[in-house]
Structure 1
Amino acid sequence: MFAIRLARRSCATAFPRRYFFNFSRKVEPPPTSRALRPDDDDPELFHLHSQSPNRDIRMRGERIKKLASCPVCLNVEGTRRNVKHECPDCGWPTHCSGEHWEQDEEHAKYCTRLRQVNEDDHDLRSGREMHEYAMPGPIPYGEVVSLSNWDIFYYTRGFPSVDTDRAGRHLSKLLTYPMTIAGVLHEYSSLTTRNQRLTPEGLRSLNALRTSLHAPMGAPESHGPSPERPPVRLFLLGARAESSLPPHVWNQLSLMFPSATLSIYHIGPEVSLPKVSLPPEEQASSAPESSPTPSAASERKGETGAAADAMAITPAEKEALKSLRVWKPEIRELRMSKYTRNEVSVWGVPSYMNPINDQLQIGALRSPYQDIHEKFGPFDPYTDVFFAFQPGFGFPSQHTPGITQIASPSEWGNVIPLILETKCALFVTGFSPEDVERDVRSLEGVPGVAGEFDWILTPGENPFKSERWEVAEFDPRLMVRTNWGIWGIRGKRRELQEVA
């Protein structure tokens, strides 16, 4: 009987009912999207930006409408109109009107990725328990971690099973900064001379660093710092998003080197700081404003009014949108632990230092690097290494028109020569193949840089890039991946010749 019922149910769903008086009515096919949906599409996570339950996403939609231009107006009519129409397939504001959205056949190339980002953002803010963010502890004795790619790393490192592509994208975005560093410096790095990514000079530089990061050959990798090896200093130049990562995320980098002591310094004018280290004017502005409790709001307006109030944009946000020209993400304020120290008196700039454990300490200095370079000296290629995540060397200077940022003295022009003088390794990432090529080409013809460095890592794809697409708010068609590529240089070694 159960089999008969199941067969009847399947027949009923496979063949829709047709009534006698509807025999001449044309059955309309269901509406189909012009673009393919993502493989892991979840309709419950899809929302138009203007109808999103999350305020941050609604505000992003408003910013896009202020910054982005309709591609049909630009390419066909030669005019500039802001986008207003939200694509029903991806949920992003993409065109000035529904007519232009229907005319734009190119949008199908971007629609699938935009819908994927839309659903990923709503999944992150859905309130579900993020099981993929459960971080493993110390590496058990005798186990080896492979750094070939994300999947093999997750498996050999002991992460909980990453069952979906969406979970993998979330986790890779969180870990791309620390694991990019580990993927270069670790002795089991996938970047080797065999695959022609590492040069002979690069092998010498990394062997020097690895003597400080790993136990000597044949000795066990004991957990805890060793008095025989000095701390390894990691300087992250122009730090932005990476400076706001939680300490336990950076601790994953420390666990990859159980015998080393790491000191991580985030340096740049946009680093995140705890409130105790902020300048006085920022401390006053960062004080949270008093707001009525949800219960009080619901008593005044009822459930319907409270829901509408939650969807509304505040007057302050509307005012900020009116004067919007080029939007920059807000610099986050870090949570302070009881061990956080205010280092303003030590460095002379807004700064802090937070000892995480006996193997890791994290600090940040809000200052251009050239202003504090001398305070970090002397430098040692065996213990010091520099990283610049997506620095934009090849982009036009914001302060000196007509030149690139790496040639501008107010940006990177005075920084790179100082690093090359130390003879320490400098590794640079880019968010796309074009960005990597642009930064590499910008090295040519710059005084103090061109001809003053040796290649240690050839430009190419980073195995620990973020798997998630990031969308530009001034043009949603522009999508990149954090730390897509990586390359490295070091100050040129000049052989001295004896004079007879």
Structure 2
Amino acid sequence: MASRLRPLAPMLRTLPRTAVGEARVSSTLASLAAARAASSARRSLSLKSFFTTRKPKSDTFTSQFEPVLEQADLFHPLSKSPLEPVRTKAEWIATHGTCPVCKELSPDEKSKPPKHECPDCGYPTHCSEEHYEMDQEHHKHVCGILREVNEDEHDLRSGRRMKEFEFPGAQHRDEAVNLSNWDTFLYTRGFLSMNSERSMRHVSHVLTYPLTIGSVLHQASPYQLGKDLTIEGLKSLAALRHTLHPAIISGITQSQDLRTTATHTVRIFCLGARAESHLPPHIYMQLAYLFPSTAFQIHFVGPDAIPPHTKSKESHQHVHYDQMTFVYDNSLYETYHAEAGPFNPYYDVFFLFSPGLAHPATKEMWKPTIPLLLDTKCAIFGTGFDEQDVMNDVNEIESAGYELDWLMKPRENAFRSLKHEVNMTDVRQSAQCNWGIWGIRGRRYDVRPSDQ
């Protein structure tokens, strides 16, 4: 994930105050006021003034953005795009992709690469125009998504000022946050108004990881007992929320250093971390703002867990950012487990973002990890790209015979990414990051007297 530009504070310059200087300023202001009054007295109404468009004032920050593409010019066939990275993407698809008609007609033979671009979505979809016409019944269901992805990618690279990525800072303790969905969250958190669905897709794609975590752990979570959470799920989250929402201590103000006032640190372990570990630290501050009295450690563990904007090749790194500490370790979790322990269900929680527990390429990698996670008795939450991906992981867990309790029933994630990701080897397939969510925990047994 690429990092986003944030607005720079304007440079303010102050001049020394002297008696002579103040006299000159006062004289100048008086002259300007007199001239303005005289001008307004002579000014007459003109119809021209009602219809003349005035150029908006430009500021130093805005003037550095010179759009390469205008908003009305975002659709381009990938191979003819004015942006080189998009043309390179078209070449990759045309070389390594597959024609769906060839695959159906000759399943035992290698499919021809898609050289023909659909005029409606701009993607290379079929090996020839003939096969494109034959597949219209199926292609029409994905054509709209592909065009949307096409325009979104051109918009991100257009060079315009991306105002939707100018995120708000900390919120006052007395101001409530509504976590029902993306719209209510962005509104109650004071984000700039999203004037298009495209802006919503951009923002949700960046914030889906911290907000998926926050929406589960927060006391204003959209997930409710019975509908989404089990009794065991409510117990596990109640333990975590006891730490995340401590009682306000008199004498401690919001402006004080959290490192000196926080009594506990909550540890969030993201296992098999990939894209979530590449986000800039300030993105995860949107999670921290939901819990202003809590210090966090976020552990990204996995072979692809690499800090953003670093050339270091060290396998274990720490990054400190305000009230959060980020730990990056590119080892497998079974190696990291002993170092991270001991664990406490009140302070520790695990997240597996689209882990692929049932996928043939990663299935064996997770087998030694899941029993270790269940032994901690801490809450474990996982996500999936779509309904089929979620149910594959759930069925894999249930068929393995683990002793566990379900905390959250498999369901659609309220803070899934609204943006589609296209499979470049088969453009008919697309997915949304963190589409669905589920939760488990190692089984606990109640101790009862023998006469019961």
* Corresponding residue of 2:120: 89
**2:285 maps to amino acid:** N
Map 1:313-352 onto structure 2 (within 5 A).
Answer: 350-352=315-317
* Corresponding residue of 2:341: 377
Deviations 1:320-349 (A, max 9, x none): xxxxxxxxxxxxxxxxxxxxxxxx5xxxxx
Deviations 1:172-229 (A, max 9, x none): 00100000000100000000115x1011111111111011111228989953356563
Cα distance 1:275–1:186, how it changes in 2: closer, same or farther (>3 A)?
Answer: closer
Measure the CA separation in 1 of the matches of 2:252 and 2:171.
10
**Structure 2 residue matching 1:487: 3-state secondary structure:** strand
Measure the CA separation in 2 of the matches of 1:84 and 1:164.
33
Equivalent of residue 419 in structure 1, options 373, 380, 396: 373
1:466 aligns with 2:417: yes
**Structure 1 residue matching 2:382: 3-state secondary structure:** strand
Tell me the percent identity: 45
Query: Retained in 2: the 8 A contact 1:51–1:58?
Result: yes
* Corresponding residue of 2:142: 110
Query: Retained in 2: the 8 A contact 1:215–1:221?
Result: no
Measure the CA separation in 1 of the matches of 2:116 and 2:133.
11
Query: Retained in 2: the 8 A contact 1:198–1:457?
Result: yes
Cα distance 1:216–1:254, how it changes in 2: closer, same or farther (>3 A)?
Answer: same
**Structure 1 residue matching 2:397: 3-state secondary structure:** coil
**2:112 maps to amino acid:** R
Equivalent of residue 48 in structure 1, options 60, 74, 77: 77
Pairwise CA distance, 1:162: 0.6
* Corresponding residue of 2:33: none
RMSD of aligned C-alpha atoms?
2.1
Map 1:255-404 onto structure 2 (within 5 A).
Answer: 255-273=289-307, 278-279=312-313, 350-357=315-322, 359-397=323-361
* Corresponding residue of 1:73: 102
Measure the CA separation in 2 of the matches of 1:276 and 1:482.
24
Deviations 1:443-497 (A, max 9, x none): 1332xxx241101111100000000111001110001111000010011002235
Measure the CA separation in 1 of the matches of 2:307 and 2:283.
17
Structure 2 unaligned segments of length 5 or more: list them. Answer: 1-69
Query: Retained in 2: the 8 A contact 1:221–1:259?
Result: no
Query: Retained in 2: the 8 A contact 1:225–1:259?
Result: no
TM-score (norm 2): 0.79
Query: Retained in 2: the 8 A contact 1:226–1:260?
Result: no
Measure the CA separation in 2 of the matches of 1:427 and 1:221.
33
Query: Retained in 2: the 8 A contact 1:273–1:351?
Result: no
Measure the CA separation in 1 of the matches of 2:276 and 2:309.
18
Measure the CA separation in 1 of the matches of 2:135 and 2:276.
37
Measure the CA separation in 1 of the matches of 2:433 and 2:309.
28
Structure 1 unaligned segments of length 5 or more: list them. Answer: 1-40, 280-343, 345-349, 399-404
* Corresponding residue of 1:57: 86
**1:63 maps to amino acid:** W
* Corresponding residue of 1:154: 186
Cα distance 1:108–1:42, how it changes in 2: closer, same or farther (>3 A)?
Answer: farther
* Corresponding residue of 1:100: 131
TM-score (norm 1): 0.72
**Structure 2 residue matching 1:476: 3-state secondary structure:** coil
Pairwise CA distance, 1:57: 1.9
Measure the CA separation in 1 of the matches of 2:267 and 2:229.
22
* Corresponding residue of 2:67: none
**1:170 maps to amino acid:** H
Pairwise CA distance, 1:51: 1.7
**1:54 maps to amino acid:** L
Query: Retained in 2: the 8 A contact 1:225–1:260?
Result: no
Measure the CA separation in 1 of the matches of 2:213 and 2:425.
30
Pairwise CA distance, 1:275: 7.6
**1:351 maps to amino acid:** H
Pairwise CA distance, 1:53: 2.5
Query: Retained in 2: the 8 A contact 1:226–1:259?
Result: no
Query: Retained in 2: the 8 A contact 1:214–1:221?
Result: no
* Corresponding residue of 1:205: 236
**Structure 1 residue matching 2:374: 3-state secondary structure:** helix
Deviations 1:26-67 (A, max 9, x none): xxxxxxxxxxxxxxx965111111122223222222221232
* Corresponding residue of 1:179: 211
Pairwise CA distance, 1:360: 1.0
Map 1:118-137 onto structure 2 (within 5 A).
Answer: 118-137=150-169
Cα distance 1:147–1:226, how it changes in 2: closer, same or farther (>3 A)?
Answer: farther
Measure the CA separation in 2 of the matches of 1:276 and 1:125.
23
* Corresponding residue of 2:441: 490
* Corresponding residue of 1:4: none
Measure the CA separation in 1 of the matches of 2:251 and 2:230.
29
